Amino acid sequence: MRTFALSSLSFALTILVFGNAFFQKKQFYPSIVYLTKSNSSTAVLYLQGIVLIYLLGKTIARIFFGQLRPTEVEHLIERGWYAITETCLAFAAFRDDLSFRFFTMFTLLLFIKCFHWLAEDRVDFMERSPVITRVFHLRAMGVLTCLCLLDAAFIRYAYRTTLARGASVQLVFGFEYAILFVFALGVWQKYILHAIDSRSDEPWDRKAILMLWGELVLSAASLLLYAMFIFIMLRVHAFPLFAIRPAYTAFRSFKLALSDMVLSRRAIRIMQQRYPDATAEDLSSSDNVCIICREEMLPDTGSAFFLPSADFSASIPAAPAPLLPDDLKQLSEAELRRMEAWNREALERRVEHLQRISALLDAAVLQMGQYTQLMARIGPPPPLAEDSQAGASAAAASAPAAGSAAEATANSTSSK
């Protein structure tokens, strides 16, 4: 309803502006000159253009995304404010190039950014959705393909314009579209991995590793683009202060992705060293029934946690204690000592926790006793003013009733 009202108002204002211009100038060319020179007419035309872009965006979003979820709309509004602020700071360095063409390309850049964000939110929702239809796949592939083609086309246009006319605002536009192109490639990677995982009946173990590698490569590409942009701006213009925050964000993302990759590889290597895969001989020499599904275990289906390779460490208190063998004589002297140390530390921790709980309970009892003594010394709280007024009114109301009752009793006595 609000969209219809805003659209109707903008169309009515545009018709009035055009009618006023043609009524005053009587001819086409003078009317157009009048519209471009009048500030109020230009403002109305800008408003009409924004409304048309908004309606076009809603139509395209309806085609590619269907009904938007409230979370997607919230993320879109939140990111939009930050994007407008950062882009305005970026274009402040090229304030001499401000024109109608600049505002058109600026609006188009925000328009395309919004669809990049919607595509990312919809692909992330794909992993949590239990049912993925063919229409969803067609929409996702269609919007991602269109976004990549648009980004590549605008990068090519900005590159050619910069070569022909020198450093201008097209340098910032080309850089923004290059970042969006890398962003779209990241969304493509997520979509492909989620699609492959959704088609398999069993969990895909390598999906997390591929996601880490993709995030590492794309964050490195974004960081490289920011470094190149800062270097070019230093050569042709000045130091771009507006690029400090996004460059730091890209560096932080790259650092986190690299740290996650190193830690994951280290954890996998340690797990493979400490807990090797069980062989057929290992399964045949012991009980090969799984304690969870109660079925016989087969080789190359997981890791075997052997007691000789287990580390009785107290660094993870939430981890369960290792299973003991039927005969403790099978353990070596070092293993028995580690088991004894582990059990002793666990017992000490339990006793320490119990002592702390007892101290807390004693303190609570002491404070409750002090509170009881204080309340007994102070006495009950005085009645509130509202309660006293209510009591007085009740007494006043009961007084006539008591008088009438006494009069009735006296009359009955006299009659007797």
326 burial (CB, 10 Å; 0-12 / 13-18 / 19+) is: exposed
Domain extent listing, the chain = 1-67, 68-274
pLDDT, position 72: 86
Q: Helix 100-128 to helix 134-165 angle, to the nearest 10 degrees?
A: 150
| pLDDT classification of 405: cutoffs 50, 70, 90 | very low
Name, in order, each residue with C-beta under 8 angstroms of 174's C-beta and a sequence gap of 6 or more.
154, 155, 158, 159, 162
Cross-strand bridge partners of residue 289: 296
Do residues 48 and 11 make contact, with C-beta atoms less than 8 angstroms apart?
yes
Q: Which of 279, 300, 280, 297 is nearest to 288 (CA)?
A: 297
Contact 127, 191 (CB under 8 A): no
Query: Using an 8 Å Cβ cutoff, are 339 and 312 in contact?
Result: yes
| DSSP state letter for 132 | -
Q: Is 176 exposed, middle or buried (0-12, 13-18, 19+ CB in 10 A)?
A: buried
Mean pLDDT of 66-89: 83
Higher pLDDT, 312 or 146: 146
pLDDT above 70 for 294: no
Residue 401's pLDDT is: 46
Highest mean pLDDT (candidates 21-30, 155-164, 290-299, 318-327): 155-164
Name the H helices within 301-380: 333-378
Q: What is the pLDDT of residue 414?
A: 47
pTM over cut 0.75: no
